[in-house]
Structure formats: C-alpha cells, structure tokens
Amino acid sequence: MHKAGTTTLAEAFFGTGRVHTASGACCRAVQRTRNLTVAAKSTPPMCGARELGWPKESHFFDWCLEHGRCEDYPLVFRSRPAGSNMEATPRMLSQPRAAEALAAVMPPSIRPAARFIILLREPTSRLFSWYNHQVRAGWVRSPFATYADNQLHEWRMRSTRTAFAALDPMPDIGRGLYAQSVLHWRRFWMRKALLLLNYHTAFSEMAAVSRAALEQFTGVRPGLFKRENSFRAKSSLPCAARDQLLRFYSPHNEDLYRMVRQDAFDGSSPEAEPPFGTLPPPACSEFVTNSTPTPTPPTQRQQNQQQCRPFCDSHSAAWRTLWGGGKCSWSTCEGCAHCLRETKVRPGLGPRRVANHVASVGTRVSVQMTKS
C-alpha cells in the first residue's frame, strides 16, 4: 500500500540479488513494439524501473487500464533462469480493476507461485504522509485540514453513487479502506497468496519476525530494513482533522481486524502471516496554524521538469530519434535539461523553429554525446 514502507520492503528484497524489478529496457521495448508513445507521457511515467529512477514501480496497470493492452504486462520483466520478479507499484491494492486485470494476464504456469505482500499503515497517518508527498511535489497547496475536508466531501459524493469496486480513480481517502480492498482482491486471488503485514510492527522491534515471515512466504529472506523514502513533514497533523479521519476509518479498521482474525481462525490466511494486531492512531498537535503550508522550493530537477515538459512533450518524436529512446524526456529531466543546453534551444522557441533546430543539430549533438 502507498506510503506504507513499500520502498523499504522492495529494497530489502532487491538487495539480495535474487529478486528483480521490472526492467525499464523491456518496458520501453514493449512501448516501442506496440507503438505506445503515449505511455511515456503518463504521470508517473510507465516503465519507470531502476534505470529511470523508479526502481520498484512499473505503473503498468495505472497506464494499461486506461489505454489497453494489459496483456503485455509479463513482457516488462526480463525472463531469467533463476530468481523472482517483484514490483511494488504502490496503488495496486486500491486500484480495484488491477486485481482482475492481473489475474487475466498472469500466465497460468506462474499464477500458483504469485505472492502478494500487503503492507498496511494506519490510514490517517498514511493519508498524511501522502499529503506531505503532494505538498513536496507542489501538487497540493491547501493546509491538511482543508485537504482532509475535501477528501471526506469527495468520498460522500462519490461513494453514495458508485460501488467501491467501481471507483476509478479511487479518491485518496478511499485507499485507506483496507478491508474492502482486500476483500476485492480475494475475488480473484486466493487468500493464501496474500500476506497482510502491519507497517507499525513490520519495521519495528518485530522486524526479525516480519523478515522470517517474508522468507517463509516468498522463499527469499529479505535484507535488513532501512528507512527509505522518508522526509520530515513541514507541519504536524492537526488534532481536529486527525479525529475526524479516525472516526471515518474506525469502522473500516474494525472490519479489517475481524477479517484477519477470522482468516487466522479458519486457516485461510497464509501460514506465514504474523498476528496483525491493530493500527495505532498517529500523534497530533493542537497548535497547527491554519495557514497554507509553504511549499518546498522546487528542486533543480523539478524546475527542469516544469521547463522541459511542454517542450519535450511536443517534440518527443524528435528527441527519441536524437537520443535513441527514453533518455531525453521530461521524466528524466536531467537528460532534457542536458538536451536544451547542448542544443542551445531557448525554451521560449516556437514548435516549428524548435523542430528545425533539433533536426539541424541532431547529428552533431549525437556525436558529442557519444564522445562524452
């Protein structure tokens, strides 16, 4: 689950050398052979495997559920004689259509060996972590209390009209309804293939227990858990918003606890699954001012992205020809900034003049790049 330590878990597996992520190269080859140019423009980018800086996430289903060809999913993994493939696109659990789509495309020979690790974090603190992520990225500017209100409002509007399994895109707040998500996955996958881990114990003093459980479940002992993808929040969680969210999530958490207890009792959960316990409410602060959080100043990379995205999007075909695919897109914006610099293209230049410019300097730049 999104914001529940999925990066830490994935890295602990990748570090063993026995577990491999989706390959950016294979993924881009799928794009090329299927002529799926639009994929490179999706956000986050499809094929963002290790080479592109998104080691654990292919985002294939985020993309193919919209544009089709989910059956190409197996092709994004390199076939290897030994070892396992793993991916952790964090929204999979709460993307209802992914469960069914994955079941449909998974080759029957591999299906019985498929294992799903579901890391669950107390939903209010998960939402707060995701909110902070969005503030850092500049996608959200309102204070958390406003964001939470909006989420609750959106939920009331949409969930009265649409069944949980048909909510697409799932509102952020709905991603914390774990019992419903897991029940939905169980329509397509055996409970024995789903290992539920409590984030709050998995990485704590119980880490050794979790690692043993993961080894029993997957056949691979993960390395030590570090703390990946961790940033200090700019503000504390306001108590009023926290309490409102705790009230919202409480019955859903109770459903989850009942489900895991029942599964343990009747033997439907995997043998390796440790007792789940409960999800502790996060700390809060009474003294959070209601002002808009100051967004973190954009990093050089983000500035490059802002500058490059419209430019690269409108000239992606020319860039691909120039750089042999992928290297010079807005998503790998250092590459794009590099292109801008190397080709001395001014960002304000109109599309036709840029295209002419790229075409005229293309050969020279490729040669320079090959030399460097």
| Residue 346 annotated as part of some ligand binding site | no
Residues 5-34 contacting ligand PPS, CB under 6 A: 5-8
Q: Which stretch binds ligand PPS (CB under 6 A): 63-71, 175-183, 228-236, 320-328?
A: 228-236
Radius of gyration for the chain, computed over Cα atoms and rounded to the nearest angstrom = 22
Question: Under the criterion CB under 6 A, does residue 201 sit at the interface with ligand PPS?
Answer: no
Q: Which stretch binds ligand PPS (CB under 6 A): 92-100, 223-231, 261-269, 290-298?
A: 223-231
Question: Under the criterion CB under 6 A, does residue 59 sit at the interface with ligand PPS?
Answer: no
Q: Is the Cβ–Cβ distance between 285 and 127 less than 8 Å?
A: no
Query: CA–CA separation, 279 vs 351, rounded Å?
Result: 53
Q: Is the Cβ–Cβ distance between 293 and 135 less than 8 Å?
A: yes
Selected from 60, 185, 225, 330, the binder of ligand PPS by CB under 6 A is: 225
Selected from 150, 229, 296, 302, the binder of ligand PPS by CB under 6 A is: 229
Residues 75-104 contacting ligand PPS, CB under 6 A: 90
Selected from 94, 124, 129, 181, the binder of ligand PPS by CB under 6 A is: 129
Q: Would you say 162 or 204 has its CB closer to ligand PPS?
A: 204
Query: CA–CA separation, 37 vs 66, rounded Å?
Result: 14
Question: Under the criterion CB under 6 A, does residue 352 sit at the interface with ligand PPS?
Answer: no
- Give one DSSP letter per residue of 53-97, joined into a string: T-TT---HHHHHHHHS-GGGGGGGSPP-SSSEE----TTSTT-HH
| Residue 175 annotated as part of some ligand binding site | no
Exposed e or buried b for every residue in 76-86, given b needs 16+ CB within 10 A?
bbeeeeeebbb
In the complex, minimum distance from the CB of residue 246 to ligand PPS, in angstroms, rounded to a whole number: 17
Terminal C-alpha separation, the chain: 41
Which among 18, 19, 66 is positioned nearest to 46, based on CA atoms?
66
In the complex, minimum distance from the CB of residue 53 to ligand PPS, in angstroms, rounded to a whole number: 13
Selected from 161, 227, 346, 352, the binder of ligand PPS by CB under 6 A is: 227
* Numbered residues of the known binding site for 3'-phosphoadenylyl sulfate: 121, 129
- Site for ligand PPS, rule CB under 6 A: 2-8, 90, 129, 132-133, 203, 225, 227-231
